[in-house]
């Protein structure tokens, strides 16, 4: 696979203007990234900008805290799909995971996956807030619920992806689902190492610095 296709070109800042989102889309086409990852208000704009390319539109749900009700996440997901989202990155309910209410966590992911239909669902577990045991439990819930990816981080908490976390997530899920590393991947060395450790996708705002055109 081309290295550029590992990248979800990301812009999730609250002050992101449409001018900045347009630049994101132009770069994604120019560098042949896998997707742009944006907030839901930008889905339709990105869909139009990316028409005719193979760059996907990815959006975030329940972002960045994951503490919304299940019903709110499902509604947000359905709206995102209706507006043209190809992939959905949802934030898991971290508090319920820490309460060891794994049934709640699993059922919420399952309902969001159901709302996604055939679209890819990535579940953000915010590894920086979890113990290793909790990371494993989160992966187990994700696998049971039928989601497609486990994703390390929102990039909006205390830290992003680490090598240790990517290795642990890959070991835990095996070949049963994919792994996305996100947050803090800003050097080519880190990018290459994440892939070596088992990351199938990299979420980053630094894609144009990490990849040479044509890779």
Active site residues: 89, 151, 180
Question: Cβ of 182: how many Cβ atoms within 10 Å?
Answer: 26
CB distance 152 to 165 below 8 Å: yes
Q: Answer whether 210's CB lies under 8 Å from 185's CB.
A: yes
Asked whether the beta carbons of 39 and 16 are under 8 A apart, the reply is yes
Quote the tokens at residue 174: 């095996």
Pair of tokens at residue 80: 């995102």
Tokens of 49: 């900008």
Query: Under a CB-based contact definition with an 8 Å cutoff, are residues 125 and 117 in contact?
Result: no
Of 209, 213, 181, 212, nearest to 8 (Cα)? 181
């Amino acid at each position: 696979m081309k290295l550029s296709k590992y990248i979800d070109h990301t812009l999730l800042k609250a002050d992101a203007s449409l001018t900045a989102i347009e630049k994101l889309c132009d770069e994604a086409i120019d560098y042949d990234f896998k997707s742009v990852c944006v907030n839901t208000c930008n889905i339709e704009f990105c869909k139009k900008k990316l028409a005719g390319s193979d760059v996907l539109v990815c959006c975030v749900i329940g972002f960045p805290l994951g503490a919304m009700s299940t019903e709110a996440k499902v509604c947000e997901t359905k709206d995102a799909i209706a507006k043209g989202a190809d992939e959905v990155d949802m934030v898991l309910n971290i508090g319920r995971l820490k309460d060891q209410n794994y049934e709640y966590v699993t059922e919420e992911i399952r309902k969001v996956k159901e709302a996604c239909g055939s679209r890819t669902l990535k579940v953000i577990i915010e590894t920086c807030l979890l113990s290793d045991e909790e990371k494993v439990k989160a992966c187990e819930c994700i696998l049971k619920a039928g989601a497609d990816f486990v994703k390390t981080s929102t990039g909006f908490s205390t830290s992003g992806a680490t090598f240790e976390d990517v290795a642990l997530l890959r070991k835990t899920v095996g070949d049963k689902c994919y792994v996305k590393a996100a947050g803090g991947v800003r050097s080519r060395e880190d990018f290459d190492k994440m892939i070596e450790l088992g990351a199938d996708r990299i979420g980053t705002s630094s894609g144009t610095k990490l990849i040479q055109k044509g890779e």
